[in-house]
Amino acid sequence: MLGTNRRFTAVMAAGSVAGTVLGGLLLGVFSDLVLIPALAVILLISAVKLARHD
């Protein structure tokens, strides 16, 4: 299954790595009191968009 969706898999993997690196860098810049709620909002928006997808 992943073999037929190589481009999608590569984009998702690259996004995951980029998000991890960026999140790690932001930990030193922003307080946990700001960063964790912001990430929770991003995840919530993503979940709503996925639930609405037909």
Is the CB of residue 23 less than 8 Å from the CB of residue 38? no
Residue 2 is predicted with a pLDDT of 60
Q: Which helix (H) or strand (E) holds 43?
A: helix 32-52
What are 33-49's pLDDT values in tens digits?
888 898 899 999 999 98
Residue 32 is predicted with a pLDDT of 82
Residue 1 is predicted with a pLDDT of 63
pTM over the 0.85 mark: no
